[in-house]
Amino acid sequence: NNAKMFEQGQKKVLDPLVKAGKIKIVGEQWANNWSTTAALNIMQNALAANNNNIQAVVDANDSTALGAIQALKAQSLAGKVPISGQDADLANCQLIVGGQQSMTVYKPLKDEAYKAADVAVDFLNGKTPQSNGTVNNGVTNVPSYLLQPIAVDKNNMMDTVVKDGFHTEAQVYANIPQSQWPKQ
């Protein structure tokens, strides 16, 4: 699933840094069912075990990022510790523009829908759908069409999530004084 691919991608980047002694991973746990509460507990335990010395948090999902941010807030660390998520959930987009979450991984639904429709039409017409890679389903490598996810932060929120209509500007910036909204 997505989380496993996310983990593989982050390990590809982080493992060489760990091996070089440039970073230390002080915690690595899964929150079942993307549970915000489980993520809160995991982050509270990580903070306690490391005397609040956590330099970054990589969450595979925005729901788990919410839990981690709650734990960071309780220690006055929200906005001081970079934290990522995935899915561009509204609450997390609000946290991003408010400075408490660094970024989220966004996958435009319109692009996914169009590609899924193309694949369905190809199948209905007896054609082999176009692929640009494979995904292992635990048994075999399955031809797949992989779309490029987008890292969204406060600098490109308007050009991605809002421009696509995934969330409105008013929704994303609801907790920010309107005088501080991006200039159009």
Q: Residue 80 gets which letter from DSSP?
A: T
Same domain? 22 vs 77: yes
pLDDT tens track for 60-69: 899 999 999 9
pLDDT tens track for 126-154: 999 999 999 888 899 999 999 999 999 99
Alpha carbon of residue 77 to chain centroid: 20
Same domain? 125 vs 169: no
Residue 184 lies in a domain: no
pLDDT tens track for 88-136: 999 999 999 999 999 999 999 999 999 999 999 999 999 999 999 998 8
Q: Which residues contact 115 (CB under 8 A, 6 or more apart)?
A: 145, 147
pTM summary value: 0.90
Residue 118 lies in a domain: yes
36 neighbors 61 (Cβ within 8 angstroms): no
pLDDT surpassing 80 at residue 3: no
Tell me how far apart the 2 most distant CA atoms of the chain are, in Å: 60
Helix (H, G, I), strand (E, B) or coil at 52: coil
pLDDT surpassing 70 at residue 32: yes
Give the structural domain span for 103.
2-107+149-178
In this structure, what CATH number is given to the domain that contains residue 165? Answer: 3.40.50.2300
pLDDT surpassing 70 at residue 40: yes
Task: Determine the pLDDT at residue 55.
Answer: 96
Number of domains in the chain: 2
State the Cα–Cα distance between residues 139 and 151, nearest whole angstrom: 30
Same domain? 36 vs 50: yes
Same domain? 143 vs 61: no
Query: What pLDDT band is residue 48 in, cutting at 50, 70 and 90?
Result: very high
Same domain? 141 vs 62: no
Same domain? 8 vs 89: yes
Residue type, 149: P
Q: Please give the mean pLDDT across all residues of the chain.
A: 95
Same domain? 77 vs 168: yes
Same domain? 65 vs 141: no
Residue 183 lies in a domain: no
Residue 142 lies in a domain: yes
Residue 133 lies in a domain: yes
State the Cα–Cα distance between residues 70 and 134, nearest whole angstrom: 37
